[in-house]
A and B are shown apart, each in its own frame.
Chain A
């Protein structure tokens, strides 16, 4: 992955951005509130495929954006 299109600054090199983590939820099948807390605090989906995630444009507008990326090919898909 080399480039990210920032909605405010346009197409910029990936080095300007900081990875902010995947957008994720706790699976529905986990019902116990304490287990849901543990899952929320620690566990990752670690998606093998297309994932939605947050990035921070630290060397640009210094604001957050959401993009989808294919983790298998490491390319931005939207």
Chain B
């Protein structure tokens, strides 16, 4: 984090103590939000958040900032709708501008099969409290005038589902806002502290081993993105998670005027415009698991070719930068929150390509779980034990890209 940003925020850094009630591994959105809600709502202030790099340097700073609730299974729709509601009031809650901007998301369908899938999504969303409607190609064109309805002659638009509440926010600002809020309540955020192991007291986890000495804790929560299998292995916990890179890129600045977020299941890509005017373009995650943050030309080529079919004006733009983040993809494409079967060790993981939109609700629910010792009703179906109980929450269709 640079000095300019530090001046905009009041971040208080603390000297580390030897022991905390709660230690959270991972200073990204989920870790800091959990710390904030623990301190602000539950009065648990003896909390430390350990971050290997600087706060928000992992997936919280690498995602494409899309917030939406139009998921494909009832439990997920309710959860993400709650997160969206929390996002809408986040600036008041944290007294910090996060550049929240409601845009609406258009999900294009090019085939009759996809039309059926989008109709089903609309019905389920409305039944579970998230507003999503079907729109005709002409209505989609009115919402997004730059759209080529013939799809470059290859992908004609048959219709789309439209989720008007979808939004974007500035990802770094969300992280900083939660960090500032948590620090105001006395939470210690320790940067450049790599967790190298977990302290065990019999089977129980009683703290963490870090690059600068051990820290004991009543509860250890892993909120890391990308390396959760390594952390969990220290507690002999096995996870149904594979880590895949997800790549994205932005173009140079274009005049403001691309209103909505455009998404496409068949082409597996999505486009939005940032506040700076850059077009943010992303795709599905890479097929093979990897911890590499390297970007590839193959991705750029295939993704650019797909989006220019839908939005011909992108052909005149130049690619400014590309990057990758590593996503913990769970076996059923739903998050995993809560107990691990090892006393004193909790996880919030499986956030894959859909973690940013879940930061407020994920943090709030994990804080409630830690404070009360009971799993809140909203997330009780997202426990790790669902796999053994054969109650997997398959939702690849709405979670595969962003």
Contacts and interface: CB of A to CB of B under 8 A. Distances in A.
Given A15-B298, A38-B388, A74-B294, A46 B241 contact: yes
Interface size class of A (residues with CB under 8 A): 20 to 34
B290 A71 contact: yes
Interface size class of B (residues with CB under 8 A): 20 to 34
A27 B238 contact: yes
B287 interface: yes
B239 interface: yes
Contact of B290 (A38, A41, A74): A74
A42 B240 contact: yes
Contact of A44 (B236, B242, B298): B242
A15 B286 CA distance: 11
Contacts of A46: 229, 239, 241-243, 289
Contacts, number: 62
A1 interface: yes
B227 interface: yes
B240 A43 contact: yes
Given A15-B298, A18-B287, A48-B230, A43 B238 contact: yes
B387 interface: yes
A63 B240 CA distance: 27
B326 to A, nearest CB: 10
A53 B240 CA distance: 17
B331 interface: yes
Interface in A40-75: 41-46, 48, 53, 69, 71-74
Given A27-B238, A29-B236, A48 B229 contact: yes
Contacts of A27: 238
A39 B292 contact: no
B292 A72 contact: yes
A19 B238 contact: no
Interface string B233-262: 000101111110100000000000000000
Interface string B270-293: 000000000000000001111110
Contacts of A14: 298
B229 A44 contact: yes
Contact of B240 (A1, A22, A34, A44): A44
13 contacts: A1-B290, A15-B298, A19-B287, A38-B388, A44-B241, A46-B289, A48-B227, A48-B230, A69-B288, A71-B243, A72-B292, A73-B292, A74-B288
